[in-house]
Structure 1
Amino acid sequence: MNIRPIENEDLPEIFEIYAQSKLDELRFENRDFELIHLENDTKRWPKIKESEIYVCEDDEILGFGAIFRSEIRALFVSPTSRGRGVGKSLLELLLSKTGGNASLWVTSSNKPAMTLYSQYGFKIVREFFASYNGQDVLVSEMVRRG
């Protein structure tokens, strides 16, 4: 596996990974959500686009992550690539860019992601409701003090 900065030609694969993964992130909510494709998401895409974006690849792109200062704004792994250390590798790279301190937001019902973040020293500092495509979702802000 190789992690590198994103290139413009990677965008279609990034958008596809997001499309395959975003609703999966919300699967524990016990209700249906309609996907907003990343390239059409006027709330999330500008924040990711202004970040440093990295892709993890092994003949194809397996996942991507984005960091802006000390805020991790995205960490998505293709469903077919999960369990291979892609998420951990991306998270470790993103953390190396922060100097140790970092923050992120995760759907509170997404226990697998929260478990991963906890293993890297993240702790919940608050919970609040955010909206995804018009539906409220409980979100945890997690912070890591390095």
Structure 2
Amino acid sequence: MTVRDFKASDFPAVCRIYFEAKREELKFEPYPFNVTPLNQDEVLLAAFYESDVIVFDDGTVRGFAATFAGQLRALFVDGAVRGRGIGQSLLDAVLARGTEGLSLNVAKSNGDALRFYARNGFSNVGETVRHYAGHEIMYLKMQLAPKLGEVIA
């Protein structure tokens, strides 16, 4: 099992994981969503390709994370293996790359993700409304808190 850099041959697995996990992410919103596949969403696809992407690979790609300019844009894990430490491994790998002050947006209705990020030192620093599939979704803006004794520039 390893976390490694994304390669083009991983794209079909990443698209499958994204599609399934995006539905899971939004399942507590008050209306149903038709999730647009990653390879068909021009805006998200462009953001994906400009990001630094890593994957968790145990012989099969099981999850991925994407970062850009100090923001964690995506961290998605295959639902069949969720809860086995894959998300933690991906986040640890992102943090090991030295992304200081890492920020992210997480759907306010996604309690599992909110608890995961809070356990990992992220705190709520605000809210933002994002649009997906014609609906407004409330997201919490989260920021990685500095470690005790760190100086914030």
TM-score (norm 1): 0.95
Q: Where in structure 1 are there 5+ consecutive unaligned residues?
A: none
1:75 corresponds to = 75
Pairs within 5 Å for 1:1-146: 1-146=1-146
Residues 69-97 of structure 1, C-alpha deviations (whole Å, 9 max, x = no match): 31111100000010110000001111122
Runs of 4+ residues over 6 Å off in structure 1 = none
CA RMSD of aligned residues (A): 1.1
* Larger-Rg structure: 2
User: How many matched pairs?
Assistant: 146
Structure 2, unmatched stretches of 5+, are 147-153
Shift of 1:16: 0.6
CA-CA distance at 1:100 after TM superposition:
3.4
1:98 Cα deviation from its structure 2 partner: 3.4
Cα offset for 1:99?
4.0
